[in-house]
Chain A
């Protein structure tokens, strides 16, 4: 058991960190220590001490409560954005792989290249600048830059699957390309997509914080970690707790999601599960693809 846990350190630490924030977000729907929309100017800028666990901000709002509700904002934005990326990107990738070399394939992939060519955050800023700031536009913006990530990953992995013998037998059996994609390719890609989804989720949290920081994310009074950081800037020299707690929240969430993603990848890889040390000797095509995709999306 201990050996099992040790082998999955990343997975467990990551899962715990994620759980903490997901739990905070869920609990915040029913209960927070203080109401985050009620201002209490008389109690502004209190240092972290009970009853204000993390202190209060310049409006006298409880920072602990704001972090809880901020988790909700972050998770909601990142979750929906990743879902958009998956729902649009995966079918595009499957379709492109099924029609390899066709005009559709070219169009889809070059379109993806086009979106990829722009730095992700810049696209997001552009979209929110055109359509106005707000959580919804932030979701759309982050979602759009998730599409090519999933489309590429899906296409690359699907292409290697199309060469497999069982796909060949399915084709011989007369199944259409669409059916093969849906019935044989997609299920075999799920592991990969879940792992990538986790990584993209962490990037989504970062992107939401970044957009809120520059004022293009969730608008007040909805608490958001990024905006809490931005508002704390001028007060950092005398009230550092205003910046430290939302900063820690962002760091720990992103760290947790990344560890969880890495852990999942290890867990899903059957070869790694039994033979960790031979990782380098047996390069899996999926694994290699995953790494290259990850590297690209983080850049």
Chain B
């Protein structure tokens, strides 16, 4: 096994389009690292550079101790699961899994042993003689995983492997991938645009935007303390509310004339300067509570989600969403008072969009 290290890796396409702008990242041996971001953020390009499918325009990629910048994909000791699975349509499931081993002159009985073993783990033994087109989406997905497993590579690379599955299957496969990765202990790098997938799978979450890393950390860290406004609104569902506000003094900001207290606030901000105030829909409570600040909200309509309800409306003229357990607030409520826990307020610089928290 081996970790993966990226050192200021760049990708510049013809026409000077910089798709990846100097990314540095350490993926520890055996860990599960997820790259997440909107489409076009460079996450797939980064993964394909690690695979050796794209040349790199600058920087170094190391797998273990070896710099692999110029190494062919076949010689990098990696395996990849593609979004469209890229199964060989004319080969049986068995041959699909065996192909890479045969090309490496693995002995026949060893191939058979490994394919059978992978098929057992993935529960695709009954389908070994079938062609991919005779399989369901979920089964094809497993074959694609099997093709990766049999190789016993140093690193697994996943390029949005679940996005061609329906919602229910996606949740199920997500759990299986996580379980499998823990059992095999192989370093894995996983690309997705789905933040729920990213949160649930990762040991290390990497949020990317515009060819750069916005934040690296455990899912919990990224959720609790987003470093930029982009991360704040990208991670979490429904997304964080961002309100325009003003600095009132140390630990105090105001939104539309209503002052709220903040725990995590940078010192020395000039009173009266503009600031962005972030509040997660699930972090605000309806009804005034002693010792906390409050904000008034006009409710427009209510979205029913079953266990919870989303109240859509406006706070100080800006769109705002509140999530509450069903029944906690009467559905016909038109005016809400929200109590704000100072620990749950996130502040961002309107210009740089960076977090204005304590260091």
Q: Do A and B bind each other?
A: no
Chain A positions near chain B (C-beta within 8 angstroms): none
Chain B positions near chain A (C-beta within 8 angstroms): none
